């Protein structure tokens, strides 16, 4: 598989390099040079998730990764289902939250961990990352138990919810978690210092397992096919997909699925008040505002870092950006939507609710709508319980960790200490 840097197309890498490196020169994103047209879509849709995903990813990645290796990567990553639930006559929810950390990032994170493990070569790898909560959990669970990969996660002591802390600080093994006496920015600054330290980087094989890693996107393509596979055949011809968007990785993956030949009619990008993209699509002007905090905080992003990939796909396919639907919802509208959905017997959380409402507003007669549910309602327990006035029991995956002791180390906001800790 050959990829180029969108900012500097002369910089070309293979899959292994793109996975190891994450970003290209000048923070440019890597993009596949060729996306194959799959001409056996119906055959693929008849297969189970894992087998189908092996075939799709093999068609994209090609011979660089031996078939047996790729097959085990997919099998180890996709260990949970992505059920499609019917919400109304013409609207379905694709539930992507049945993985170990109850969010769709388990798909991309777990496949990235497998990919990095497969292409890392002989050297040791240390994944170092800072988290304000959720990403840390997905990274920790994705890499847990992988040989020769150590993971160190920094988080601000006392500033993440106790439940979030339990979810990723109780694993042990190759996962070390460090509670820093400081805020999230301090954690991020420590990580940056570590990456700027060439000697340290070399000594422990530092890698960021970044959210823009191409392997994440490849994994996410697969669940768009899974959604179609579960749709009744007579509903597969006019499908509209609404994606709750923050950094726009999820939407990018969907657009790649369409490029490969999955017959999705059109997409809708749904956001919260951080509405840079909906405003851009209406006015043609890219003018990010300061990021604001919302109920759907995983989408509190005003400069979505995958947007260049979205534009690249539209350009290469000769699609017009005007075909991309979009809208933004306020927190008040999100709350009202959650209530309305609950009244229709579907328990959702803020991110999925935004995708549902914009879909409902823009779906036309004869179309079938699918919205992506990116997190389990219990992940946003406090807001969901308050808005819907109910008690939400913890799902077993969370409850299990909640009962285990914390294994975190504690450290001052001091790079010298962190350096010694990493070299130990």
Question: Which parts of this chain interact with ligand PLP (CB under 6 A)?
Answer: 103, 105, 134, 244-250, 298-299, 351, 374-375
* Closer Cβ to ligand PLP, 134 or 335, answer by number: 134
Query: In the bound complex, what is the minimum distance in angstroms from residue 349's beta carbon to ligand PLP?
Result: 7
Question: Both tokens of residue 50?
Answer: 């894992």
Q: Tokens 């879909």 appear where?
A: 359
Chain centroid offset of residue 130 CA:
16
Residue 273 has phi, psi (to 5 degrees) of -60, -15
d(CA 304, CA 147): 33
Shortest spacing between CB 104 and ligand PLP, in angstroms: 6
Minimum CB separation of residue 100 from ligand PLP in Å reads 14
Which residues touch 409 (CB under 8 Å, ≥6 apart)? Answer: 176, 177, 178, 179, 421
Our CB check for ligand PLP shows the closer of 190 and 373 to be 373
Q: For the CB of residue 41, give the shortest distance to ligand PLP in the complex, in Å.
A: 24
CB of 420 to ligand PLP, least distance (A): 33
Q: Identify the DSSP state of 8.
A: -
The least distance separating ligand PLP from the CB of residue 115, rounded to whole angstroms, comes to: 18
Nearest to ligand PLP of 208, 374 (CB atom) = 374
Please identify, using beta-carbon distances, which residue of 70 and 163 lies nearer to ligand PLP: 163
Report, in Å, the least distance between residue 243 CB and ligand PLP.
Answer: 7
Give the list of residues 6+ apart from residue 86 with CB closer than 8 angstroms, or none: 92, 93
Neighbour-count burial for 2-39, b at 16+ CB within 10 Å, e otherwise: ebbbbeeeebebebbebbbbbbbeeebbbbbeebeebe
Give Cβ neighbours of residue 232 (< 8 Å, ≥ 6 apart).
Answer: none
Nearer to ligand PLP, 200 or 257 (CB): 257
Three-state secondary structure call for residue 276: helix
Tell me whether residue 102 or residue 190 sits nearer to ligand PLP (CB atom). 102
CB closer to ligand PLP, 236 vs 351: 351
Tell me which residue has tokens 């939407």: 251
Torsion angle, CA of 93/315/248/92, rounded to 10 degrees?
0
Instruction: Compute φ and ψ for 87, nearest 5 degrees.
Output: -105, -35
**Quick one: 182 or 350, whose CB is closer to ligand PLP?**
350
Rounded Cα–Cα distance for residues 131 and 225 (Å): 31
Enter the tokens of residue 132: 């304000």
Spell out a b/e string for 168-195, using b for 16 or more CB atoms within 10 Å of the CB, else e: bbbbeebbbbbbbebebebbbbbbeebe
Sorted by sequence, the CB contacts under 8 Å of residue 230 that are 6+ apart come out as 83, 84
Smallest distance from ligand PLP to CB 39, Å: 28
Beta carbons within 8 Å of 289's beta carbon, 6+ residues apart: 274, 276, 302
The residue among 100 and 249 lying less far from ligand PLP, judged by its C-beta, is 249
Least Å from the CB of residue 371 to ligand PLP: 11
Name which of 178 and 299 has its Cβ closer to ligand PLP.
299
Question: Shortest Cβ distance from residue 357 to ligand PLP (Å)?
Answer: 15
């Amino acid at each position: 598989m050959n990829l180029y840097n969108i900012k500097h197309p002369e910089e070309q890498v293979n899959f292994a390099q793109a996975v190891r490196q994450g970003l290209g020169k000048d923070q440019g994103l890597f993009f596949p040079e060729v996306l194959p047209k799959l001409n056996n879509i119906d055959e693929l849709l008849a297969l189970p998730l894992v087998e189908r995903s092996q075939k799709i990813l093999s068609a994209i990645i090609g011979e660089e990764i031996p078939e047996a290796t790729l097959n085990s990567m997919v099998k180890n990553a996709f260990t949970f289902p992505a059920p499609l639930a019917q919400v109304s006559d013409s609207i379905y929810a694709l539930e992507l939250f049945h993985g170990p950390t109850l969010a769709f990032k388990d798909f991309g994170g777990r496949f990235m961990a497998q990919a990095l493990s497969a292409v890392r070569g002989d050297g040791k790898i240390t994944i170092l990352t800072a988290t304000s909560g959720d990403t840390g959990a997905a990274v920790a669970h994705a890499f847990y138990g992988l040989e020769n990969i150590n993971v160190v996660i920094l988080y601000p002591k006392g500033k993440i919810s106790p439940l979030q802390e339990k979810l990723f600080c109780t694993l042990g093994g190759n996962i070390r978690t460090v509670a820093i006496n400081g805020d999230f920015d301090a954690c991020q600054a420590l990580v940056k210092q570590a990456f700027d330290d060439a000697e340290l980087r070399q000594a422990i094989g530092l890698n960021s397992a970044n959210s823009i890693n191409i392997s994440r996107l490849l994994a996410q393509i697969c669940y768009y096919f899974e959604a179609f596979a579960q749709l009744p055949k007579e509903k597969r011809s006019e499908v509209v997909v609404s994606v709750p968007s923050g950094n726009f990785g999820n939407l990018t993956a969907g657009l790649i699925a369409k490029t490969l030949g999955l017959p999705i009619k059109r997409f809708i990008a749904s956001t919260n008040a951080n509405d840079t993209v909906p405003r851009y699509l209406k006015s043609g002007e890219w003018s990010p505002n300061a990021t604001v905090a919302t109920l759907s905080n995983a989408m509190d992003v005003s400069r979505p870092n995958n947007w260049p990939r979205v534009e690249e796909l539209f350009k290469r396919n000769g699609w017009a950006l005007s075909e991309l639907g979009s809208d933004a919802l306020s927190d008040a509208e999100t709350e009202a939507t959650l209530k309305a959905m609950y009244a229709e017997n579907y328990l959702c959380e803020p991110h999925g609710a935004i995708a549902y409402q914009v879909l409902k507003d823009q779906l036309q007669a004869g179309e079938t709508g699918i919205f992506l549910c990116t997190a389990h309602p219990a992940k946003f327990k406090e807001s969901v319980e308050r808005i819907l006035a109910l008690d939400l029991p913890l799902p077993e995956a969370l409850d299990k960790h909640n009962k285990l002791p914390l294994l975190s180390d504690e450290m001052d906001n001091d790079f010298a200490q962190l350096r010694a800790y990493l070299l130990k």
